[in-house]
Chains A and B, each alone.
Chain A
């Protein structure tokens, strides 16, 4: 049987696939905490994530929200940090914390059979963490040291500065850490932030995996009786104050052999009608391995190991960004080529076969991304936290299938203009 190698086998266009976002089951605990659950999977494992409205949006001083989130595990009146860690680790469980701008999370991954041993300790951390002074000292010292190492990396500096240019240092999306910030962390501030935004905060719960039959009852017993979701959040406004100067160059390491390049412009959030079409245009521009940027700047010129564009994952006003690390001597040439690719998207007709590839690629990746309970709940969480529902998901699919080359050109003409972009190189 000699196969025909000259022509691709017949394939089904991924745009014709039927994609479905598996619905969640939801219920509300006695105190009003909404719970979203996706019961699926083959392995006896699960995740349970509590999302608090406790991001750096609400902090009274820089670094507090992150420190509270990070040190939740470091001591209660009943258990010290070692005992808490040992408890989770003994059951092969992971308790991760993450702090974002609007929210912060406490996430448990465990074998389903161990959940009853773990939930009470999770509750203890949320309600009774004491942030011992010596734990805060170690945190300060180690975070300062980690920062010092990171400040030697051009991409780390570039990532901070480009956000500052876009949003201003006083905005939660633009602020960043410093040694002085860590020195100024005050235990009293940590405790009152915890009291206000965790103990008496606003929470949502997302669970996924193979779930125990008594999930609702045990969540109600453990979390449903806490004083959560009673006190409304304060209204805090953070005006965006972008930097005026658009072009920046920073020499951080005179011996550096590469430059970290960031080009970015403000972009509206998911509720804007341009957002969904922009996801398609972004893919074409720099969002996947076959993108224009990757094709030209890596695969044609060899200036970089990788170059990508993306729309930042912000709930409020966001940004559209190109990022790469390129050889020091080709940084300027790289920026010229990025501008050139923007121009082509504005002015030249986008070939049908290229657009077809992007449509199929996006549909295929969405299908692949929906594979597994953690992926499904992750997509739901993103929709819910952004105030969206499944309509956004299905409308996105429709945009991917139907958007025309002309619409993409028009969108590029509106947004991919080099004069609107901040431009930063850090060597």
Chain B
């Protein structure tokens, strides 16, 4: 049970305080309700590029990192398709430094041409490092475009192409900031060796005077239900054939989400999972196989991916995957198997909750979903899932017309 206090400033900034006096540290976490899904199709990658610019100086503070390091702190940030999260950890005595820094960049950025110029290059190098200069680096670009025709999940957080980043202008940056980076679109979580009254006072002092801004009304094109199976074959400069298949699954707040999450663990989570045991160990068709999803807030994808053993025909590999799914659809799952993945979930949650930083970002995440106290209800929701619900969910997900299959083949010239 994670305890917390919660209040909202008059400008709409939601504040959550989680006290833990066993640590000498404090964590300040600021979550902005904006991610790659909120970008325009012609300017993808912007939310993430923007995250970089948040370190390029704010209106009163030329360099974000220096004062924080001087206070003995560390920080980082990440952008997903759904949200952008900034966090720093520092000795609790110096917590006001974090308030000063975070509030100044919520007040306004410096909007420096130099910072934009450099970060465009840095992000282009990040793009190259992770998505171009890596074998299989463009798989998710291809798969997202195959599986989504309407929803902005059809592009990756890094952006659809380098040119979108290279062409970003300072005016875009300014507009994006005043649209999304306002108190009314943000959640501040403060955790660790702190007191609620102290946080309230500091929050009022540093964030209270920032203009509220307009609540961003998200109105994204929704993905229509897929009605026909989609298939794609690509050849690439890779050493091994790879198989990717996705099915649309429910959104994060859908009660069915929990069953889908447990299904991925039964199929692909660990050495005793169905796919690993059958396809890697017994049939030796794949050298690696996994089943996962991204936990995205809007309806996302459940994925099976694997690399094939050399010499195995990808159609044979695919039909073996299908056979495993059919087995699950026909016979369902056992109580023991379900209990296993529930136990795993319980254990993962306990390990995650060990770190104050992780507790702080989880509280912010669940507050974004609607209520921070949802964090304390998660385990019981997983525990309540029955084998019947698992079977029903399998039938909803694993329909051929709901699927997207990608054969990512080693270019024969390469062999």
Contacts and interface: CB of A to CB of B under 8 A. Distances in A.
B287 A5 contact: no
B72 A89 contact: no
B213 interface: no
B193 to A, nearest CB: 10
A1 B205 contact: yes
B117 to A, nearest CB: 7
Interface string B55-94: 0000111000111011111100000000000000111011
Contact of B96 (A2, A11, A45, A152): A11
Interface stretch (B36-44, B237-245, B314-322, B388-396): B237-245
Interface in A279-321: 288-290, 298-305
A85 B281 CA distance: 12
Interface residues of B, number: 83
Interface residues of A, number: 75
A153 interface: yes
Interface stretch (A29-37, A220-228, A367-375, A382-390): A367-375
Given A82-B272, A153-B134, A256-B133, A146 B89 contact: no
Contact of B351 (A109, A138, A357, A371): A109
Contacts of A93: 347
Contacts of A14: 71-72, 91, 94
A12 B91 contact: yes
Nearest to A356: B70
Contacts of A163: none
Contacts of B401: none
B209 A364 contact: no
A188 interface: no
A43 B350 CA distance: 6
Contact of A111 (B100, B204, B346): B346
A73 B22 CA distance: 37
B24 A82 contact: no
A303 B93 contact: no
B351 A43 contact: yes
A361 B66 CA distance: 9
Interface in B268-295: 269-272, 277, 280-281, 284, 287-288
A178 to B, nearest CB: 15
Contacts of A11: 70-71, 93-94, 96-97
A145 B309 contact: yes
A361 B118 CA distance: 25
Nearest to A289: B65
A257 interface: yes
Interface string A51-86: 000000000000000000000010000000110111
B120 interface: yes
Contacts of A302: 117-122, 125
Given A111-B346, A138-B280, A5 B100 contact: yes
Nearest to A17: B91
Contact of A290 (B66, B100, B122, B280): B66
B340 interface: yes
Interface in B111-141: 117-126, 128-129, 132-136
Nearest to A258: B133
Contacts of B412: none
A289 B55 CA distance: 11
A249 interface: no
Nearest to B119: A302
Contacts of A9: 96-97, 99-100
B205 A363 contact: no
B305 to A, nearest CB: 13
Interface of B: 20, 22-25, 59-61, 65-67, 69-74, 89-91, 93-94, 96-97, 99-100, 103-104, 107, 117-126, 128-129, 132-136, 204-206, 208-209, 237-240, 269-272, 277, 280-281, 284, 287-288, 307, 309-310, 336, 339-340, 343-348, 350-351, 353-356
7 contacts: A5-B60, A5-B104, A5-B107, A43-B353, A81-B281, A109-B351, A302-B118
Q: 6 closest pairs, A vs B, by CB? A: A364-B72, A302-B121, A14-B72, A92-B347, A85-B271, A86-B272
Given A5-B100, A152-B135, A152-B237, 8 more contacts: A5-B60, A92-B346, A111-B346, A141-B287, A148-B239, A151-B239, A326-B125, A367-B25
